[in-house]
A and B are shown apart, each in its own frame.
Chain A
Amino acid sequence: KNQVEQSPQSLIILEGKNCTLQCNYTVSPFSNLRWYKQDTGRGPVSLTIMTFSENTKSNGRYTATLDADTKQSSLHITASQLSDSASYICVVSVFSGNTGKLIFGQGTTLQVKP
């Protein structure tokens, strides 16, 4: 069964600290993996996309990694800011022709405190 699991479910850190969010998937065949950020009361917004051949990608203070062998991805946030408080959702795309099936993780809720 195609599945995406994220950990931890929630996380509280102090402003300026780093943190790492985890995403494990059992999706086959794999097409790509995206991390989305969802601010409270808004729709998710894409942060990064990782394809099978990529193992690191950065977007400002956000760095995503992908290990296709172990089927794990992580999102590292450096020097956290209050505006990083949000839910972070890992989404894996199934390679299935034109249907474009997406498997969503349940998300990690991050709270950054001053």
Chain B
Amino acid sequence: NAGVTQTPKFQVLKTGQSMTLQCAQDMNHEYMSWYRQDPGMGLRLIHYSVGAGITDQGEVPNGYNVSRSTTEDFPLRLLSAAPSQTSVYFCASRRGADNEQFFGPGTRLTVL
């Protein structure tokens, strides 16, 4: 099993550009989530999904969109990048609400 994979590992964008961060898992997990991690702030939930076709907002959803068309994939879209979105982004998945969460290796995004 590859676990949770994310692409790209690094990305530099200009303000106003859009892009999609890819996330995939091969563990047949129902729950998937996107987090951002900033220095001194810990991990903050952006969006999450409890199954294919079901998504919901986390605590910092503004400027991001998600979709979940398959169990395996959960892409995160930045609509119009802003410097405040400079961060490290982690995708995670778990089998159920109380199960262990597995994290991807992260995407380091810089917005100039």
Interface, chain A (partner B; CB < 8 A)? 31-32, 34, 41-46, 49, 89, 91, 93, 96-100, 102, 104-107
Contact = CB atoms under 8 A, between A and B. Distances in A.
Contacts of B92: 43
Contacts of B98: 31-32, 93, 100
Interface of B: 4, 31, 40-45, 50, 90, 92, 94, 96-98, 100-101, 103-106
Contacts of A31: 97-98
A45 B97 contact: no
Nearest to B56: A99
Contacts of B97: 31, 93, 96-100
A92 B112 CA distance: 35
Given A34-B100, A99-B50, A100-B97, A89 B43 contact: yes
B106 A42 contact: yes
B5 to A, nearest CB: 11
